[in-house]
Amino acid sequence: MTQLTNHHSKLFQTMEDRHSVKQYEKGFDISEQEKKQMLTAATLAPSAWNLQHWKFLVIEAEEKKEQLLPIAYNQSQVVESSFTVAVLGDLEANKNAEAVYQTAVENRLMPEEVKNTLVGQINGAYERGGTFARDAAFLNASLAAMNIMLAAKGLGYDTCPIGGFNGAEFVKAFHVPERYVPVMLITVGKAAKPAYPSSRFSLEDVVVKNSF
């Protein structure tokens, strides 16, 4: 695997060290402070129009983990890990626009008329229908999800993103409002054994410059 750096950068080292872990030390406790650090990192992710198209459902109670197990097709990591973050995408993120931009107006970073124009443009994009809202929910919530995984690794923990679960059953079992769509589950905990190193395609295989 190509080395990203000569290890002068902790960020690059964290990226290199992060691998998906599926076996965790059951019962290992992660402090509330560290959970908050991970989730705060998630909220620092970029998002279109700064609408912050995400909601995080933290599943940590034992009975809720057991409830999640069959929904996640009996992947034992959801009960063995310290907790699971269900990353949800906001299908109505345009409703955040007023609050986001009003703060900018109050801080004199933006004139009121610019705010009104932006909010109008955002609502217009959402009102056109089609796949726009769903695509935006998945794209932007996924940016936040990656921050959770890097923050966890930076704190010495391991994670695994899970796309294989029954979204409709999840919504029903965990009473997810219609506004949100499940994007992925991320298990977080202390690895019971190191992750298998995984190969990556070379840059020559994945990079195209300027045009195909």
Condensed to tens digits (0 to 9), the pLDDT of residues 115-142 reads 999 999 999 999 998 999 999 999 999 9
Q: Which CATH superfamily is domain 20-46+54-91+134-192 in?
A: NADH Oxidase (3.40.109.10)
CB 10, CB 175: distance < 8 Å = no
What dihedral do alpha carbons 174, 177, 181, 184 form, nearest 10°?
A: -30
* pLDDT score recorded for residue 157: 97
Rounded Cα gap, residues 45 and 87, in angstroms: 13
- Indicate the residue type of 113: E
Residues paired with residue 10 on neighbouring β-strands, in sequence order? none
Instruction: Pull the structure tokens for residue 109.
Output: 């970073």
CB 25, CB 190: distance < 8 Å = yes
Give the orientation angle of helix 132-154 with respect to helix 112-127, to 10 degrees: 110
- Secondary structure class of 185 (helix, strand, coil): strand
Give the helix/strand (H/E) hosting 84: strand 83-90
The residues spanned by each domain of the chain are 20-46+54-91+134-192
22-49 pLDDT, tens digit per residue, is 999 999 999 999 999 999 999 999 999 9
Per-residue tens of pLDDT for the chain, all 212 residues: 455 555 568 999 999 999 999 999 999 999 999 999 999 999 999 999 999 999 999 999 999 999 999 999 999 999 999 999 999 999 999 999 999 999 999 999 999 999 999 999 999 999 998 999 999 999 999 999 999 999 999 999 999 999 999 999 999 999 999 999 999 999 999 999 888 888 999 999 999 999 99
- Closest CA relative to residue 155, chosen from 3, 7, 10: 10
